[in-house]
Amino acid sequence: MTLARTQFKRQPAKEPKPKPGPRQRKCKCCGASFVPQGLASWCSLPCAHKLAMELLAKKKAKEQRQERAATKAKLVELEPLEYWIKRAEKAFNAYIRKRDEGQGCISCGRKDADVWNAGHFVSVGANRTLRFNEDNVHLQCARPCNKDKGGNIHEYRKGLLAKIGPERLAVLDGWHPPEKMTRLLAQAIEAEYKRKFKELG
């Protein structure tokens, strides 16, 4: 009997865990800890007012940015056709220079020019339809070939024959129906050659 009582001795009762206090939150304005009422993120009315004013200022700034962007977009849409053609030319010429990088001048073959152009074999003045034809435009030194020698066309033809072959050169020499340029077409050309430029890395 004594052994049994020793084995089943009553354990002392555990003390109850203290109840946790009210959950606190950090004020988004001043950083002080406080007991929130509902979903409030501020500890006092001054902090609530300050947060509301900051939110209002951010909303106003966002609306102003959106308004400026909309105004800019409207102004861009009012630009004349020539503006869009220039943008398309810029993207196209950048692609040609990147495509032919390291190949040297199509006319004289030099590879150490200070400035490189995207030189047209058939000039834009002679045939606008070939303005954005990739076979018609190649890397060319700005000086002397493109600027001083008017494109150095005789040597350009030799370089072009070696590069694209007689069949494609004959296409450039042939007749091309006039193509009406529009704003949408110019925008599409710009977008296409910006994409192709990126693809070249």
* Count of all residues that appear for the chain in the document: 201
Q: Is the dihedral of CA 33, 39, 41, 46 positive or negative?
A: negative
The DSSP H or E segment spanning 46 is helix 45-77
Where would I find the beta strands (DSSP E) of the chain?
25-26, 33-34, 116-120, 137-141
d(CA 147, CA 175): 26
Residue spans per domain, the chain:
38-77, 81-199
The pLDDT, as a whole number, for residue 196 is 97
The pLDDT, as a whole number, for residue 1 is 47
pLDDT tens readout for residues 38-61: 778 888 888 988 888 998 899 998
Question: Measuring CA to CA, which residue among 163, 143, 148, 157 is closest to residue 96?
Answer: 163
CA-to-CA dists, residue 187 to 90, 127, 177, 183, 193, angstroms: 12, 20, 21, 6, 10
Beta bridge partners of 33: 26
146 by Cβ neighbours in 10 Å (0-12 / 13-18 / 19+) ranks as: buried
d(CA 46, CA 27): 12
Residue that the structure tokens 């102004």 belong to: 75
pLDDT tens for the chain, 201 residues long, are 455 555 556 666 666 676 666 788 888 888 888 888 777 888 888 898 888 899 889 999 898 898 888 877 777 777 999 999 999 999 999 999 999 999 999 999 999 999 999 999 999 999 999 999 999 999 999 999 999 999 999 999 999 999 999 999 999 999 999 889 999 999 999 999 999 999 998
Q: What is the DSSP letter of 115?
A: S
